[in-house]
Homo-oligomer: A and B are copies of this chain.
Amino acid sequence: MNKKTTRINKLIDILKIRGFVSIKELSSMLNVSEMTIRRDLEILKNNDIAENIYGTTVYNPAHTVVKNEDEYNLLGEVKKKNAQKDDIGRFAASLVDEDDIIIIDTGSTTERIAANLPTDKSLSVLCYGVNILMELRRNPGVKMLFAGGFYHANTQMFESPESIDFIKGVRAQKVFISAAGVHRQLGVTCVNSYEVPVKRAILQSSVQKILVTDSSKFDVVRPAFFCELDRIDIIVTDNALGDEWRRLIAEAGIKLYTV
């Protein structure tokens, strides 16, 4: 992975959280010259992620570029997949009803759910990811519940045994769960083992289990198994999903939405 990409990713993360940051600060945070930051921001500007006004850089909360497999790739042309994730997120968000209690898992796609949540509805949302929390804070209609613990930088989530207890004490209409792999025999998987108890707890606490993931995750197996496919009620993914999967999903009695 090249240095520039890594830096730009950090830059976006910082902007997402803070909303607006001065170039000077970004420069010292990322240990590069201000000139480099300016050049990076030029790229973000072209991708509609941030706007640079005299003195400060402002993050655009409505941006459609989505993190893909742990990293943004703005230099290549993988923007298509990012648009897909935003579409998936927007659609999933539309499944939410007035006064719903929902749980939002970690991940880049689920982040787009949080960002696209209706602002005119009264909602309760449980989450444990910092990126999700930041998106939710923009939404005045949301009553927030947050499961804390120890911070894991790679997934931007908090987690602890007490958190699991907290989640188990919550009841929700819908859970939006993410996955790094979906396999016919081997079930639904994620990357880190610490995610497993959390994912199992949120599945247990919700009436409707909605899996949100782009089509590239199908047929993929990841190290940490957290549930069988048939526990899922609804899948939201993009329309690049193959026919055999569509049949398989229908046979399993799962409602499928492709966007």
CB within 8 Å of B: which residues of A? 17-20, 22, 29, 51, 53-56, 58, 60-62, 128, 130, 133-134, 137-138, 140, 143-151, 158, 160, 162-163, 165-166, 169
Contact = CB atoms under 8 A, between A and B. Distances in A.
B53 A137 contact: no
Nearest to A166: B162
Nearest to A60: B19
B130 A130 contact: no
A96 to B, nearest CB: 18
A145 B151 contact: yes
A191 B249 CA distance: 53
A169 B158 contact: no
Contact of A54 (B56, B144, B169): B56
8 contacts: A18-B134, A22-B53, A54-B55, A55-B56, A61-B137, A61-B138, A144-B151, A146-B146
A41 to B, nearest CB: 14
Given A20-B56, A148-B166, 9 more contacts: A20-B20, A56-B56, A130-B133, A146-B148, A146-B149, A148-B148, A149-B166, A160-B169, A162-B165
The count of identical subunits is 2
A64 to B, nearest CB: 10
Nearest to A24: B54
Contacts of A128: 148
Contacts of A60: 19
A58 B61 contact: no
Contacts of A55: 53-56
Contacts of A148: 128, 145-149, 158, 163, 166
A128 B145 CA distance: 12
A145 B143 CA distance: 22
User: Which residue, A60, A150, A166, has most C-beta atoms of chain B within 10 A?
Assistant: A166
A55 to B, nearest CB: 2
Contact of A149 (B20, B56, B138, B145): B145
Contacts of A51: 20
